[in-house]
Amino acid sequence: MSMNNVGRPTRPEASNDDAGFNSLSGGRGLLQDEPLIFELGGWTKTGVDLPDVVPADSALAGLTRDEPIGLPGLSEPEAVRHYVRLSQKNHAIDLALYPLGSCTMKHNPRLNEKMARLPGLSDIHPLQPQSTVQGAIELMDRLAHWLKTLTGMPAVALSPKAGAHGELCGLLAIRAAHEAAGNGHRKTVLAPTSAHGTNPATAAFCGYTVVEIAQTDDGRVDLADLEAKLGDHVAAIMVTNPNTCGLFERDVVEIARLTHAAGAYFYCDGANFNAIVGRVRPGDLGVDAMHINLHKTFSTPHGGGGPGAGPVVLSEALAPFAPTPWVVHDENGYKLVEEAVGPAAQAFGRMSAFHGQMGMYVRAYAYMLSHGADGLRQVAEDAVLNANYIKARLSDLMSPAFPEGPCMHEALFDDAWLEDTGVTTLDFAKAMIDEGFHPMTMYFPLVVHGAMLIEPTETESKAELDRFIEALRLLAQAAKAGETGRFKNAPHLAPLKRLDETLAARKPKLKWKPVAPAPLAAE
């Protein structure tokens, strides 16, 4: 792999598929090779024309910067091109289907973006007097109303900023409730073997010991094992529904009953709410706390680490322990309750400095209003239909992990069908990149060998699903025909080839070092 002058791989290598052809510059078919912005921007250049600094006595008592700030100077067209070129090197939901299971990569409606940019919602500051942002607080109140209605739960904490943050919020509320009831000795959290990694991580972060619940052969919580592991030491169970195998927990009501009978709380990981929104209310199933990923179910953009929003709905038993702030309203208007006094006295604290991700609230609320109650129900129905279509059309070539019955919003395959082909799940996923599709989620859930978890979402048309299925069928046939060369070093056509992901994770290069020291006196 060729490296640039700071040791970063930039150039595509020759491969069999393109007959060893490499351009002279590293560019590729109208796409230019793109350096880091720090390598691109000159230290002495600037894109803006600022007035000269008027010399003045510094009030910084010797703390004045004596080295250059090290920001690259770029003109506006250079900056625009840099970011547009970077955006072309990666996949995006605006380019094609993005079948990353568990992540619900659905289309982000442009209407949401338009609403989020309304000046009364975007040009405001969290420290403004509440009387000047009544509309924004009202929007939070209405969003809260929809979330409570859709889940059948009496309370919601809006402020958590992601699903994992919502899990933390839910478990902190559960811990506070146990402590208030003199049950602080309950130190165990139960979670199924198929749980998303954030579940045990959250429980451990809150000081709990995590014990795994076994799974049945048909991919559900093993009730006998759950019953055997429940007891006076258990604070909560964390169960995802529909679960990470893309299956509805048939016994969810019994799971809740057993949990409550043992004096524990039922935390439901609601990341897969998209599959049941408008059709099932988790409150009716006996759930005590559940986070909702607005960036999954309610179409706010995500990927690349943010921003998201993970509001947590709470049952009557946990509602008094919700974190501040929350919205109340009376004849004088809307108000954020910020202090842990009065009715908020049992709040365990705050999840974030202010009130959460306003921009995501606006987008999610716009999505809810534009769909309406009937449209949201159809979201769930179409998401499930699309996943079952994929499962049905690929099951003759690939091996579904749970062949019996329909799936929910995700089609899960194992790697049994790749046996003796010399192709692994990883190879197959990377070969999808050459075909123009983002890979599905690989090797998750851990309970399924070589798992391939495909979540199309409801926003894909039948035509796009057919294109995707056709590409996967051709690849599957190639794998079975022994065309291992196509797979082993895939992707061949991406800007970067197969990277050493273990090395990248174990020894990440987190710091960029200038090639030459920047001059002190920038313009």
Ligand X SMILES: *Cc1c(COP(=O)(O)O)cnc(C)c1O
* Residues binding ligand X (CB under 6 A): 102, 162-164, 196, 198, 240, 244, 269, 271, 293, 308, 310
| Cα gap 504→501, rounded to integer Å | 5
**Min dist. Cβ of residue 310 to ligand X (A):** 5
Report the candidate in 434, 501, 445, 514 with the shortest Cα–Cα distance to residue 474: 434
State the DSSP code for 333: E
Q: Which CB sits closer to ligand X, 10 or 198?
A: 198
* The two structure tokens encoding residue 66: 């004596």
**Min dist. Cβ of residue 198 to ligand X (A):** 4
**Min dist. Cβ of residue 105 to ligand X (A):** 11
Q: Which CB sits closer to ligand X, 11 or 302?
A: 302
Cβ–Cβ < 8 Å for 190, 258? no
Q: Which CB sits closer to ligand X, 15 or 441?
A: 441
Q: Which CB sits closer to ligand X, 293 or 315?
A: 293
Q: Which CB sits closer to ligand X, 277 or 475?
A: 277
Query: Edge-to-edge, what's the strand order for the sheet holding 188-192?
Result: 155-157, 312-314, 289-291, 265-269, 234-240, 188-192, 209-213
| Cα gap 462→101, rounded to integer Å | 18
Q: Which CB sits closer to ligand X, 271 or 398?
A: 271
Q: Which CB sits closer to ligand X, 199 or 386?
A: 199
**Min dist. Cβ of residue 154 to ligand X (A):** 23
Q: What per-residue string of b and e applies to 75-106 under the rule 16 or more CB within 10 Å gives b? A: eeebbeebeeeeeeeebebeebbbbbbbbbbb
Burial class (CB in 10 A: 0-12, 13-18, 19+), 516: exposed
Other Cβ atoms closer than 10 A to 202: 28
Other Cβ atoms closer than 10 A to 302: 22
Q: Which residue is nearest to ligand X (CB)?
A: 163
Place of tokens 């079948």: 99
Q: Which CB sits closer to ligand X, 154 or 307?
A: 307
**Min dist. Cβ of residue 244 to ligand X (A):** 6
* The two structure tokens encoding residue 312: 């947590």
| Cα gap 441→255, rounded to integer Å | 28
**Min dist. Cβ of residue 275 to ligand X (A):** 11
Cβ–Cβ < 8 Å for 283, 315? yes
Other Cβ atoms closer than 10 A to 246: 29
**Min dist. Cβ of residue 472 to ligand X (A):** 22
**Min dist. Cβ of residue 196 to ligand X (A):** 3
**Min dist. Cβ of residue 103 to ligand X (A):** 6
Q: Which CB sits closer to ligand X, 102 or 151?
A: 102
